[in-house]
Amino acid sequence: MNFLKYNIQLGLCLVITLLSPVCGRTQQMRAEALSLEKAWQLADLNSKKIQISEMDVQASAARLQIAKDGRLPEVSIHGQYAYVFNMPIYEDGLFHTPKQFPVDRKYYKAGAEAYLNLYNGGKTGREIMYAKKEQEIVEVEHHRTAADIHFSVAVHYYDVYRNQAYRTLLLHDIKEREKQLEEIKQLYANGTVLKSDVLRAELRLSKQRMLLIEINNSIKIAGQRLNVLIGKPDDTPVQLDVDTGGHAAFQLQSLQTYLDEAHAHAFNGLLSGKAKELRALNLQQVKSNTSPKVGFFAEYGYGYPQIQFYPYSLALYGSGMAGIKLSIPISGLYTNKHKVQEASLALKQQEIAYENAHDEIRQAVEEAYLRCTEAMKKIEVAKENIKQAAESYRIMRNTYFNQLSLLTDFLDAETQLLQSRFELSTAQANAQVQFYKLQRTIGNL
């Protein structure tokens, strides 16, 4: 009795030991399942295009700070050291030998100067506004880049999902074909069917196995493209979280709702609007070329010897000045009008481009919306086709094995059923892709 109890305990320990790695691997596989949202997060962290775009945002922030620095005073220091030559004095004319007036050979000067702009027609303020608009454009472009990457991730994600669904269906179909081949071989052994039926069934099974190789390669290709986008090694196996990925449901709103969102958030519309604002600022900047400039200046320095003012002195001296500097660009009154004309035409051109951008956005939104509804309709049709194909397959199977139909009709029904199941997987994946394409078009991805 004790021996039996000991064997039972030993057996339980062995079972637990053997199952523990399996359970651990199962839990690990579940933990590593990749949802679409997780793939987007990885792409945000690892996509090189997004990283480049983030650097552009940082650079635009630096350019804005440079524009703001234009309001600060300009301060500089300067120094000079020179060797002074003799000063010839031509008392009898240029063509006679001069007398040499002795001078101190060494000359040096050091000082500092500052300038603070008080008024320049508002150019500095507009340069800051211009830099802000450029920063806003870069930020919109950054969001557009991220949205494009998200859409590419979704495309490859559902490409993997679709091909994995194909493989599951095909593996099941191959098992069924192997069973049927054995049944057909048995019928042939009994003299019920011809050898050609066996050959057709074997050929059909061979084609299915070749198709399985193609599908496996397609999974590897789509998986490698997805891994590149999310920053994983190329050969990392992709296990999808089908609960939140492959079968994610969505509800379409009205077309007008998407049009309104696109008018406010579509990337091309935002970029075109920002470009129009830049052109308007540029026109104001060009018009200000004829404005006077007023600034405060100050300078002070030390020099040796004093040879700037008479009488000269071989001694260290200091000099300085401060005041208001005014300059009026008179030539701008007749040279600036063509620049203003050019800037005005550029603004009008951008206004038309802005309207054209919104026309294109409306077209893109409506097309994406119709394709999305079309994809959803294909899912319903595909489900109905599967029911019909399954019934046709059932009838042809029964009639064939009862010697009431030909093998070709049976194989056609079998092919139609598998194709209908493929079409359902394709329609499900395509519906998701079209939905995210619509979201990208309205600027919401």
Dist. CA 288–CA 278, nearest whole Å:
15
Segment 48-80, tens digit of pLDDT: 899 999 999 999 999 999 998 888 999 999 898
**Whole-number mean pLDDT of the chain?**
83
* Domains of the chain in sequence order: 35-71+137-290+338-441 (1.20.1600.10)
Q: What is the mean pLDDT of residues 96-123?
A: 84
User: What whole-number percentage of the chain has pLDDT above 90?
Assistant: 31
The better pLDDT of the pair 361, 388 is held by: 361
User: With contact defined as beta carbons under 8 Å apart, do 216 and 167 qualify?
Assistant: yes
Burial environment of residue 239 by CB neighbours within 10 A (0 to 12, 13 to 18, 19 or more) = middle
How far is the CA of 186 from the CAs of 190, 397, 410, in angstroms?
Answer: 6, 15, 17
Nearest to 249 by CA among 432, 391, 13, 118: 432
- The secondary structure of residue 73, as a DSSP letter, is P
Dist. CA 111–CA 335, nearest whole Å:
37
**pLDDT class of 197 with cuts at 50, 70, 90:** confident
User: With contact defined as beta carbons under 8 Å apart, do 265 and 442 qualify?
Assistant: yes
User: With contact defined as beta carbons under 8 Å apart, do 354 and 392 qualify?
Assistant: no
Dist. CA 254–CA 369, nearest whole Å:
9
* pLDDT computed for residue 310 by the predictor: 64
Dist. CA 307–CA 312, nearest whole Å:
5
Within 13 A of 331's CA, how many CA atoms are on the CB side? 0
Dihedral in degrees, nearest 10, Cα atoms 264, 268, 270, 274: -160
Dist. CA 106–CA 324, nearest whole Å:
34
* pLDDT computed for residue 6 by the predictor: 38
How far is the CA of 43 from the CAs of 51, 149, 152, 406, in angstroms?
Answer: 10, 7, 10, 53
Strands 317-327 vs 293-304: parallel, antiparallel or unpaired? antiparallel
Segment 330-383, tens digit of pLDDT: 888 888 888 899 999 999 999 999 999 999 999 999 999 999 998 888 888 888
* pLDDT computed for residue 11 by the predictor: 41
Collapsed DSSP state (helix, strand, coil) of residue 302: strand
Dist. CA 185–CA 401, nearest whole Å:
12
How far is the CA of 197 from the CAs of 189, 207, 219, 397, 402, in angstroms?
Answer: 12, 15, 33, 14, 14
User: With contact defined as beta carbons under 8 Å apart, do 173 and 153 qualify?
Assistant: no
Cα 87 to chain centroid distance, Å, stands at: 71
Q: What is the mean pLDDT of residues 92-113?
A: 81
* pLDDT computed for residue 231 by the predictor: 87
